[in-house]
């Protein structure tokens, strides 16, 4: 399917998702069929009180079957936050594209992804 024409968008639904990162790669946002997703921000926080942990965040391009790193094993110090993607540099996900993430240590990192689902139906 083709991505919706953003000039003729009929609806924009704002969403925010978040949770704890696991040590295996997990999907955080997946673009549904016949939609376009604008990812506004990705924030990773280290909630551990004493140790740093590494974050990996990936943009998976479904049409190219390619994984492109937005952050690759970036150290997030204890009680700190990493801005992986900010509103000043959004990216678009087309059908089947996704944002994936993982941590080097379970329970140490949390992620929040803010995005909009655009539809031209």
Contact status, residue 82 vs residue 71, Cβ threshold 8 Å: yes
Coil, strand or helix at 8 = helix
Which CATH superfamily does the domain covering 6-119 fall into? Answer: Nucleoplasmin core domain (2.60.120.340)
pTM, 2 dp = 0.93
Q: In the structure encoding, which two tokens stand for residue 107, read together?
A: 């329970």
Given 3-state DSSP classes, what are the helix, strand and coil percentages for the chain, each rounded to the nearest 5?
0, 60, 40
The per-residue pLDDT for 79 is 95
Domain ranges for the chain:
6-119
The radius of gyration of the chain from alpha carbons, rounded to an integer in Å, stands at 15
The per-residue pLDDT for 4 is 66
pLDDT tens-digit profile, the chain (121 residues): 566 677 888 899 999 999 999 999 999 999 999 899 999 999 999 999 899 999 999 999 999 999 999 999 999 999 999 999 998 999 999 999 999 999 999 999 999 999 999 997 7
- Positive or negative, the Cα torsion across 90, 58, 115, 9? positive
The per-residue pLDDT for 109 is 98
């Amino acid at each position: 399917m083709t991505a919706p024409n953003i000039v003729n968008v009929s609806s924009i639904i704002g969403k925010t998702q978040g949770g704890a990162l696991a040590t295996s790669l997990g999907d955080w946002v997946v673009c549904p069929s016949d939609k376009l997703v604008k990812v506004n921000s990705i924030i990773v926080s280290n909630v551990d009180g004493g140790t740093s942990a590494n974050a990996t965040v990936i943009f998976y391009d479904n049409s190219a079957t390619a994984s492109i790193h937005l952050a690759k094993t970036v150290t997030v110090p204890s009680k700190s936050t990493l801005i992986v993607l900010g509103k000043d540099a959004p990216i678009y996900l087309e059908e089947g594209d996704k944002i994936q993430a993982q941590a080097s240590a379970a329970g140490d990192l949390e992620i929040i992804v803010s995005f909009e689902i655009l539809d031209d139906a």
